[in-house]
Amino acid sequence: MNRIQTLLLALAGILISSGLYSQTLTGVVSDGSGMPMPGATIVANGGARGISTDIDGRYRLDLGVGTHRLDYSFVGYVKVTREVTLAEGQTKTLNVQLETDAVLMDDVVVIGYGVQRKKEVTGSIAQIDSKQITSVRTPSFEAALQGQAAGVQVSQSSGVAGAGSLIRVRGVASVSAAGDPLYVVDGIPITQNYFLRGNSGAMNNNPLATINPNDIESVEILKDAAATGIYGSRGANGVILITTKRGKTGTSYEFSSSAGFSNPASLPNMLNTEQYLTLRQEAWENDGGTGYVWLPGFTSAGDSPESRKAAFEEAMLTSTDWVNETVGTGVKHNYSFGARKGGDKYNVYTGVSYDDNGSYLIGNSYERVSGRLNADFEPVEWAKIMVSSSLSQGINNRIDAAWSGGLGDAMSNALPYYPVYRTDTLFNADGTIQALPGDYYLYQDEWGGTKNPVAVRESKTWITTENRSINNASIILTPKDNLFIKGSGGFDYMHVREDIYNPPSIFLTSDLGNANRYANYVLNWNYSLTADYKMDLTEFSSLGLLAGSEFQRTDSYGYGIGFGDVTGPIFENDSLLEVANGQTTVNNPSQHSFLSYFGRANYTLKDRYFFQATARVDGSSRFGRNYRYGFFPSLSAGWVISDEPWFESGTLSFLKARTSWGKTGNAALPDYARFGTYSAPDNGILYNGQPILFPLQPANPNLRWETSRTVDASIEIGLWNDRVTTELAYYNKSSQDVIMNVSTPPSTGFTNRWDNVATILNRGVELSIKSRNTVGKFQWTTELNFARNYNELQSIGEYTPDAVSGGTNDSRVITGSPVGSFYLMMFSHVDAETGLPVYLDRAGNETFDYDNNERQYVGDGLPDFVGGMTNTFRWKNWDLRALATFSYGAKIFDSSSKRQLGVVTSWNMRTEILDRWRQPGDEATFPRLTLDETTYGLPSGFPWWNTSLFVFDASYLRLRNLTLGYTIPQIGEGKHAIRDLRVNASVTNLFTITSFPGLDPEVVRDFENAQDRNMSPNVTYLTPPQERAFTLGINMSF
Amino acid sequence: MLKNMKSLRLIAAIAGCTVALTGCDRMLEFEPGDVILAEDAINTADDLQRMLNSNYDVLANLLNGRQQSIAELLTDNMARPYSSLDYTAVWNRETNFFTPTTGGLYTDFYYAIYRANVVVESFDLVEGLDDATRLRLEAESRFVRAVCHWYLVKMWAYPYGYTADNSHLGVPLRTDAVAPPSPRATVAEVYAQIIEDLEFAKANLPNENGPYATSMAASGFLAHIHFLRQDWGASRSEAERVINSGLFQLDSDLDRYEAGSDSVLAGDLINPETVFGITGGYFSVDGDSLLNDRSYAFRDNFRQDNNLNPQLTFSDDIYDLFQLNSADDRGDWIESNGVTHKVTRFDNKQFFNVPIVHLTGLHLLRAMSVVESGGELQTAIGDINAIRDRAFGADLNDLDPTSNAAAVLAAAREEYRKETLCEGWELDQMKLRGVMGEPETVRDAPWDCPGSLLQFPNSSTTAAGFILNDEGGCL
């Protein structure tokens, strides 16, 4: 009964109060060129909520009698404040023009669990708006962050459709726990598992691929502890907040579309048949062989000279360009439509999109269909309901890549003398026909696999389907002025299903094919409750308080099922699932949860001194009771010096200093790493018919959070009335108790153990500059960001470098070196007299002996500095935007070179090998050719020549994107007018300046697990290069 | 300010309610499914028995031809492997810490040792465990622990007697299940523990215990171990304890690898001369799946009837040895085209029992011990002729009763080498001869060249201070 009374009273209050406002303020908000601005925000008297202009930039406000302060704002424009006095019953018109702003000090930025004026921000936050995200066409939104924010290193994915980027915020601070930033979409920390299917097909799934970039309003990247501290245990590697679009007053529509094509940014330079056979013959003769060399797939070393000669001559008749057989032109097109509608009590945004992104790898594409509905409803002034829901599907038409096949085969085991199709008839031993002319020519690789990249591609069916839905519902109550209580519930659903059908033709068998399905489900629930209160303590000071709690639970499970003797993939034969004879493997559910309490206090003095304290207590199911809860505080302060009365400068228009200290954590490790476990009772293993019980994993009840203590200091400067703005930041992040999945000596009874072992230092500076070089009719703006990060693994306890490795990537943990250091035999030079490789041992002595005990640090994949520069030119309706990204000082380990440029084996080689030693006195890059790995000091049978010879400088400057656009401000009049019709042409990766001799100096290969992802940046292994894409696009609003 | 205080109180009240509603530790309790938590794993005698069974399970997965193949490759018995890179590295005696096959072998031996130690340390977890069961479980566990330590120290360290006081480095000695890694103990320390464990097993186990450890099995291993220690008397004594027990008989034929069938558990077909062995697998009744496969490494490495290019084939040296006397039925174990000498010993066998310690070996060990200790030669000659009668036919190739000690020793060694082909025992003989100062080379390299020892896996070195073996020097 009390509730009903309260509601009635509230409704009456609303009616009464609205009746008080018989004074009206109207007007139009326009930009510097006089164009109306729909969606601009007007806030009266510093209230929490504002109204938005309609499609024509008009607004109408009902206000009380008296003087009112009105704030007009729009993202990317300087906020304008006006005062207006209204007499009783008066109607006034106030038109306002907003100027674009470089500093955006009065803009609102999204922070954890709230928003804040940028001026008040005491932490390090980079804001990227929707235009910056959609201006570069990328397969997945996160790739568009590259070069946009200082200290945010984005390495683009390979050329495989749907592959994800690698993002590191202020370096990598983890070893075995995931080192990626936390992604939060509309307040929900989303599922971000890259390894649901491991690296199947040389590709990691990209959990961000199904997010439609056109749905994004802004992205905020929280970098220091003051900003990330509110996320406590999840914030050590940075936080990326993604805010999607919402409705605004009025009705408006957006449509964009683009179409284009792509080619590889570079191509491998493999040998043709004549070159390969010449070099192979030379190697054979160098090794003392006589006559013609034996040829893989045709002859063996023990065959007679006559047989070898005949095979050699036959091989010379074919020269297949396998690269050309696997690479083509990718066609891509996308369509996105969004609608916004809003009124006094509601607003709605809805968007749908379709994106078909064909890669240059023949047969490979990623299609995404997505829909989003964001709705806000404000039935009463003190309550608002917000709903966000997205539904998307990504269909990845897969191919084998890298080590798994395709272009990878073309760069390795597909020798140029193998034809694509047979020209002869192949008979079985019993005289029956095995293959006819025109059939695929199938060969065997060194592991006995049946190969032919064309045959596999054309015969195999491989589709990965991801269904994803991210949903959030909130209710915001305002029981009192400036008090906001928000309750939210979120649900993130991910279902990734991989279907593979291998037909019999690629196994040389007359049986039917086999079909497999691997399905993974991740269900992620999130609940939070926050209370946010702002109060003025005195005339000059105010206090903002936030308190909240959050609970998150994630369940993952899945299964694999396989069928032999079938004619097609399971999705074409759903009845197969009803057949009992499928071999099914069920992945046991894996669950984890976080329970958190947090608070934030912001104190503002004289609107120029800002102080913030945050604290968060996190509990995680991943840790035992000994260390279940962690406490993560932060303190920060900001001082807008330029607002001091004594500050006078004709040049400096803005000056702000801020500093922070805080502690954040990381708990991104496997759900059950802490448990000591034994096999299940029904493990199915018997000895002598009797069941067995055995230990699986050692317990570590003391496993605890990684914690990072970060100190940050920065200064923000605006010059010449903010025509030039810059920010310079310094940080020092010391990460303790870094979790390592340590390889333990077998004598312990286990091979691995999760433990808090390492200490990592990340220290760096960041510089951002934005300069409006010219204004007026010809506008030229330059945005430059630069980040230098020093990374050092300061301690790994009593362990040795081999305690943790980056999968097969020869990266190790080396005290005093960065995470992700290459640990290889140091190559010195080729001995001019003998043509043999000369190595350096750890003491620096030259030796011909290749000794794994002498492996040492030979470089690392972390750059000394990275950055991006965007130049934007505008003249009349034309605009030209050029984004260049650069990286300096990182090394790349071209891991495939050890076979492509080493011992002559059953791999094709690259043309660089032509610079090899041939006779005494030769100064050559590569040693004498040999078929015998022991010539280089390698163990017999192991042609994997892991030396620093293949560690290269990966510095580069890349013209990431060049876009030319033309905008027609308005076509038509009235409601049906089309505004901001913009057509554009863009090219991605037009050129790259680098000394790296391989395919691409910017590489994200497939990783085996999170540890490998941290440990092995800049390792390439037959990894397809990035694409060069040409796109025509159109955007419009109406 | 008053208004503010009210708001703050409201926030505090909401926060309090929130904490009260969500402050439940149960929300943070998830346990892995389909496994048992360590603290819940062992509560009953059955749990201990199943844990002990897992010791045998590991042992079976090691002695199913994996260990034997590696040991054979280090001797003169085998030709260069067909294509396996790892086996080639072993044959070349150039394993390194990245050689996965030997690393896996090493690791698995310590799995068994760890599990044995867990059993021994877990008795207090089981209420009401009777003393007899406890004693048997401990004895069997220590038996497995000893056997595993012995295989490790034989292959990863120089042999007993390599230094006068055996102070040279052996392998990590693990007698407890604690987490910290162990450095390498000396060979003296490792052997002392092995003997102590086997003596305990010998004293506390029954003579018959199905395919599991027995007192006789302990004696059988002790006979081998004392033989390598050149303690001829002890070796003979242990061998004779088994031989004279009446529990075992020499097989009448040359095939002691008994195969099961789709309806017969191979474990029910234990060869009569098996003192200790591994029970092989069997097909499910429908014949579709192979269960409990404990002989795959023998089958996959050696069989030539279903494989044109088996990995492991006999060396010319072995081929020549059998060419000396064509009447030797064991010559049928070789299928040769004059270049490649394939092994037929496991042909037509899909799964089978694997004898480890057997009566044939013990007879020949006794023969050698008798000669080495200057004992009565007739016992040794009798042992040898018992073996020869089976291989050549009764009395067809008997050793002359008047043969001198050198001839008897040579004959015993030759029979031992032939009988244990593919079983890995010849490696012991080769090393013993080297320790005894006899000129011993393997494929033109000294028997103790650095690479003759398997290299420890890379994971051994992840804890600082572990000393690796030297490498190379054998080619």
DSSP state letters, B15-59: HHHHHHHH--GGGG----TTEEEHHHH--SHHHHHHHHHHHHHHH
B18 touches A: beta carbon within 8 Å? yes
Cα separation of A961 and A1027, whole Å? 12
Could you report the per-residue pLDDT of A408-441, keeping only the tens digit for each? 999 999 999 999 999 999 888 788 888 899 999 9
Q: Is residue B77 part of a domain?
A: yes
Same domain for B184 and B244: no
- For residue B424, the enclosing domain spans 209-283+350-438
Is the Cβ pair A751, B94 closer than 8 Å? no
Q: Which of residues 824-883 of A touch B (CB under 8 A)?
A: 851-853
Is the Cβ pair B22, A628 closer than 8 Å? no
Cα separation of B58 and B80, whole Å? 28
CB atoms within 10 A of CB A85: 12
Total domain count, chain B: 2
B37 touches A: beta carbon within 8 Å? yes
Position A165 pLDDT exceeds 70: yes
Same domain for B260 and B373: yes
pLDDT tier, A939 (very low <50, low <70, confident <90, very high otherwise): confident
pLDDT tier, A507 (very low <50, low <70, confident <90, very high otherwise): low
pLDDT tier, A53 (very low <50, low <70, confident <90, very high otherwise): confident
Position A717 pLDDT exceeds 60: yes
Give the SS3 label for residue A403: helix
Cα separation of A757 and A641, whole Å? 43
Is the Cβ pair B6, A677 closer than 8 Å? no
With beta carbons under 8 A apart, name residues in chain A contacting B463: 744-745, 798-800, 803
H or E stretch covering B432: helix B426-435
Are A634 and A663 in contact by the 8 Å Cβ rule? The answer is yes
Same domain for B97 and B79: yes
Is the Cβ pair B292, A686 closer than 8 Å? yes
CATH number at residue A87: 2.60.40.1120
Give the SS3 label for residue A135: coil
B201 touches A: beta carbon within 8 Å? no
Could you report the per-residue pLDDT of B391-407, keeping only the tens digit for each? 999 888 999 999 999 99
Tokens 């209580």, located at residue: A485
- Percent of chain A whose predicted confidence (pLDDT) is above 90: 70
Which has the minimum average pLDDT: A687-696, B129-138, B260-269?
B260-269
pLDDT tier, A775 (very low <50, low <70, confident <90, very high otherwise): confident
Cα separation of A996 and A430, whole Å? 53
Position A794 pLDDT exceeds 50: yes
With beta carbons under 8 A apart, name residues in chain B contacting A547: 11, 14-15
With beta carbons under 8 A apart, name residues in chain A contacting B110: 746-749
Output the CA–CA distances (angstroms, integers) from residue A325 to A286, A322, A329, A454, A462, in the order listed: 33, 5, 12, 7, 19
pLDDT (0 to 100) of residue B268:
62
Position B273 pLDDT exceeds 60: yes
Cα separation of A295 and A280, whole Å? 8
**Residue of A818 and A572 predicted with greater confidence:** A818
Position A7 pLDDT exceeds 60: no
Q: Which of A538, A539, A549, A688 is the best mutation test for B, with the most CBs of B within 10 A?
A: A688
With beta carbons under 8 A apart, name residues in chain B contacting A592: 30
Q: Is residue A684 part of a domain?
A: no
Cα separation of A216 and A185, whole Å? 9
Tokens 């009698």, located at residue: A65
Could you report the per-residue pLDDT of B153-189, keeping only the tens digit for each? 999 999 999 999 999 999 999 999 987 889 999 999 9
DSSP state string for A894-932: ETTHHHHTTS--SS--BGGGGSB--STT---SB----S-
What's the token pair of residue A1022? Answer: 């037959």
Q: Which of A672, A689, A747 sits opposite B172 (nearest CB)?
A: A747
B175 touches A: beta carbon within 8 Å? no
Q: Which of A628, A678, A802 sits opposite B462 (nearest CB)?
A: A802
Same domain for B258 and B374: yes
Tokens 């492997």, located at residue: B81
Q: Is residue B117 part of a domain?
A: yes
Cα separation of B148 and B145, whole Å? 5
Same domain for B447 and B428: no
Q: Is residue A85 part of a domain?
A: yes
pLDDT (0 to 100) of residue A79:
76
Q: How many helices (H) and strands (E) does chain A have?
A: 10, 57
pLDDT tier, A103 (very low <50, low <70, confident <90, very high otherwise): very low
Output the CA–CA distances (angstroms, integers) from residue B55 to A691, B118, B156, in the order listed: 12, 10, 21
Nearest to A283 by CA among A812, A943, A813: A943
Cα separation of B176 and B122, whole Å? 11
Is the Cβ pair B53, A688 closer than 8 Å? yes
pLDDT (0 to 100) of residue A5:
45
Kindly state the greatest CA–CA separation across chain A. 111
B344 touches A: beta carbon within 8 Å? no
Which has the minimum average pLDDT: A10-19, A135-144, B114-123, B205-214?
A10-19
B44 touches A: beta carbon within 8 Å? no
pLDDT (0 to 100) of residue A843:
96
Is the Cβ pair B15, A531 closer than 8 Å? yes
Q: Which of A485, A537, A743 sits opposite B459 (nearest CB)?
A: A743
Q: Which of residues 798-817 of A touch B (CB under 8 A)?
A: 798-800, 802-803
Which has the minimum average pLDDT: A577-581, A850-854, B68-72?
A577-581
Position A15 pLDDT exceeds 60: no
What integer is the mean pLDDT of A230-246? 92
Cα separation of A272 and A911, whole Å? 9
Is the Cβ pair A689, B111 closer than 8 Å? no
Collect all residues with Cβ–Cβ distance below 8 Å to A462 and sequence separation of at least 6. A201, A397, A398, A399, A400, A498, A499, A500, A501
H or E stretch covering B362: helix B359-372
Q: Which of residues 750-809 of A touch B (CB under 8 A)?
A: 750-751, 753, 798-800, 802-803
What integer is the mean pLDDT of A940-946? 85
Q: Is residue A169 part of a domain?
A: no
Residue A579 Ramachandran class (φ > 0 left, ψ -120 to 50 alpha, else beta): beta
B92 touches A: beta carbon within 8 Å? yes
pLDDT (0 to 100) of residue B10:
65
Report the residue count for chain A: 1038
Q: Which of B29, B85, B461 sits opposite A802 (nearest CB)?
A: B461
Residue type, A673: A
With beta carbons under 8 A apart, name residues in chain A contacting B28: 593-595, 619-621, 628
Q: Which of A382, A588, A629, A687 is the best mutation test for B, with the most CBs of B within 10 A?
A: A687
pLDDT tier, B7 (very low <50, low <70, confident <90, very high otherwise): low
Q: Is the dihedral of CA B182, B143, B118, B457 positive or negative?
A: positive
Same domain for B189 and B213: no
**Residue of B351 and A791 predicted with greater confidence:** A791
Is the Cβ pair A748, B114 closer than 8 Å? yes
Q: What's the mean pLDDT when you consider all of chain B?
A: 91
Output the CA–CA distances (angstroms, integers) from residue B401 to B328, B385, B405, B407, in the order listed: 20, 10, 11, 11
pLDDT (0 to 100) of residue A3:
43
Which pTM value belongs to this model? 0.89
Position B313 pLDDT exceeds 50: yes
Same domain for B191 and B139: yes
Same domain for B253 and B398: yes
What's the token pair of residue B329? Answer: 């039925």
In chain A, which residue's Cα lies nearest the Cα of B47? A693
Size of interface A-B (CB pairs under 8 A): 231
pLDDT tier, B5 (very low <50, low <70, confident <90, very high otherwise): low
Could you report the per-residue pLDDT of A66-75, keeping only the tens digit for each? 888 888 887 6
Q: What's the mean pLDDT when you consider all of chain A?
A: 90
Give the SS3 label for residue A845: coil
pLDDT (0 to 100) of residue A17:
40
Same domain for B221 and B176: no
Output the CA–CA distances (angstroms, integers) from residue B330 to A352, A565, B72, B387, in the order listed: 78, 43, 17, 11
Strands A724-743 and A706-719: antiparallel
**Residue of A773 and A97 predicted with greater confidence:** A773
What's the token pair of residue B354? Answer: 């694997």
With beta carbons under 8 A apart, name residues in chain B contacting A594: 28
Q: Is residue B434 part of a domain?
A: yes
Cα separation of A183 and A670, whole Å? 18
Tokens 């090899």, located at residue: A916
In chain A, which residue's Cα lies nearest the Cα of B458? A802
Output the CA–CA distances (angstroms, integers) from residue B122 to A686, B38, B105, B116, in the order listed: 22, 11, 26, 10
Q: Which of B110, B179, B461 sits opposite A698 (nearest CB)?
A: B179
A551 touches B: beta carbon within 8 Å? yes
pLDDT (0 to 100) of residue A62:
84
Same domain for B187 and B261: no
Total domain count, chain A: 1
- For residue A69, the enclosing domain spans 2-100
Could you report the per-residue pLDDT of B29-88, keeping only the tens digit for each? 999 988 999 999 999 999 999 999 999 999 999 999 999 999 999 999 999 999 888 999
What integer is the mean pLDDT of A128-155? 87
Q: Is residue B387 part of a domain?
A: yes
Q: How close B33 comes to chain A (CA, Å)? A: 6
pLDDT (0 to 100) of residue A510:
59
Position A480 pLDDT exceeds 80: yes
Q: Is residue A868 part of a domain?
A: no
Residue A120: burial class (beta carbons within 10 Å; 0-12, 13-18, 19+)? buried
Q: Which of B96, B459, B468 is the best mutation test for A, with the most CBs of A within 10 A?
A: B459
pLDDT (0 to 100) of residue B282:
64
Could you report the per-residue pLDDT of A892-902, keeping only the tens digit for each? 999 999 999 99
What integer is the mean pLDDT of A345-356? 95
Burial B381-394 (b: 16+ CB within 10 A, else e): bbbbbbbbebbbee
pLDDT tier, B469 (very low <50, low <70, confident <90, very high otherwise): very high
Could you report the per-residue pLDDT of A130-140, keeping only the tens digit for each? 888 887 778 78
In DSSP terms, A543 is beta-bridged to A535, A603
Same domain for B183 and B237: no
CB atoms within 10 A of CB A389: 17
Q: Is residue B388 part of a domain?
A: yes
Position B14 pLDDT exceeds 70: no
Is the Cβ pair A694, B179 closer than 8 Å? no
Is the Cβ pair A483, B88 closer than 8 Å? no
**Angle (deg, nearest 10), helices B405-419 and B316-323:** 120
pLDDT (0 to 100) of residue A154:
92
Cα separation of B69 and B80, whole Å? 12
Residue type, B231: D
Same domain for B108 and B164: yes
DSSP designation for A271: -
Position A9 pLDDT exceeds 60: no
What's the token pair of residue B315? Answer: 């060396």
A672 touches B: beta carbon within 8 Å? yes
Outline where DSSP puts E strands in B34-181: 35-37, 169-172
CATH number at residue B154: 1.25.40.390
What integer is the mean pLDDT of A686-702? 92
